[in-house]
Structure 1
């Protein structure tokens, strides 16, 4: 059996893990688990005070990916400008779909959730669950934009707000 190809990820790289968002690879270590030697990425999610160990051989299968390109960020911001697409399905069904999009780790899908759940000040109140999903999607989006553009989260949040506000003004 041939050795798996060396991963494209290195310590200090920022990566996106679908269920948790942007994290930083702290190291690559070997551990023995159930008698098998495994090479693991040690990924730190600073904001969540969480460390995740992902087998390097299963990383891509698990959905681990590098940060989005500047092009993908531009497309995501462009998605925010679009008109909200709200299906007439029951909220529980829509909430499930939004949750899946957020946990897909796909920047464009996350931007769609932000776009669809964003409320301008003059619009009706959001329910608690709507607000929770919106904030989760917004946080994922701003964290990745911040990591890609090398700014802090506040700067990225400001950029996203400006795009959403410009849509409201249009």
Structure 2
């Protein structure tokens, strides 16, 4: 096989980490041309190692799908500061909040994802999460930690520990606060 040459399109180049909103952090492994229905398309080939997924995105669709470069260091700092804030849990039905959390996670916006991590985080002394809350929290945590590990050049474990350290600094929600939120949920 011929040695890989670094190709570049629209400011993106092979070997570069990017964020694809609905899949998280991936790396551009190639830029290739493919013929589809008689048209020649130029495609970014993006590999998502943890998910064992390869995605081909037409270069022309980059903006419309929301693909972006990794966050800058100051945005990572802002995201870490966000998780130390007080949880802002709306007093709406869980199904509505779950949709909003899902939309934030799939937006690919690091700050929005950090808000989900902050809002769904539960410390040891707080009540258990429901299965769906836990799933959304883990999904948001995974997206956030992958991007932080790529930006700060940390292992995934180190990135998770960094986020958890920040979460530990956040104002604690008491069991009474959580019980109030649940009783409001049941009343809605």
If the TM-score is normalised by the length of the shorter chain, which range does it land in?
over 0.9
Q: Secondary structure at the match of 1:167?
A: coil
Q: Secondary structure at the match of 1:38?
A: strand
> Partners of 1:151 and 1:115 in 2: how far apart?
21
Q: Secondary structure at the match of 2:65?
A: coil
The residue aligned with 2:117 is 114
The residue aligned with 1:33 is 36
Q: Is the 8 A contact 1:110 1:137 kept in 2?
A: yes
> Partners of 1:20 and 1:34 in 2: how far apart?
27
> Partners of 2:86 and 2:172 in 1: how far apart?
12
1:87 aligns with 2:90: yes
Alignment of 1:12-161 (within 5 A): 12-161=15-164
Write out per-residue CA displacement over residues 27-76 of structure 1, whole angstroms, 9 at most, x where no aligned residue.
Answer: 00000011100000000000000000000111121100000000000000
Return closer, same or farther for 1:55/1:133 CA change in 2, 3 Å cut-off: same
Q: Gaps (5+ residues) in structure 1?
A: 1-5
Q: Gaps (5+ residues) in structure 2?
A: 1-8, 174-188
Q: Please report the TM-score for the alignment, with normalisation by the length of structure 2.
A: 0.86
1:162 aligns with 2:131: no
Provide the alpha-carbon RMSD of the alignment: 1.4
Bigger Cα Rg:
2
Q: Is the 8 A contact 1:120 1:168 kept in 2?
A: no
The residue aligned with 1:3 is none
> Partners of 2:47 and 2:12 in 1: how far apart?
14
Q: Is the 8 A contact 2:84 2:168 kept in 1?
A: no
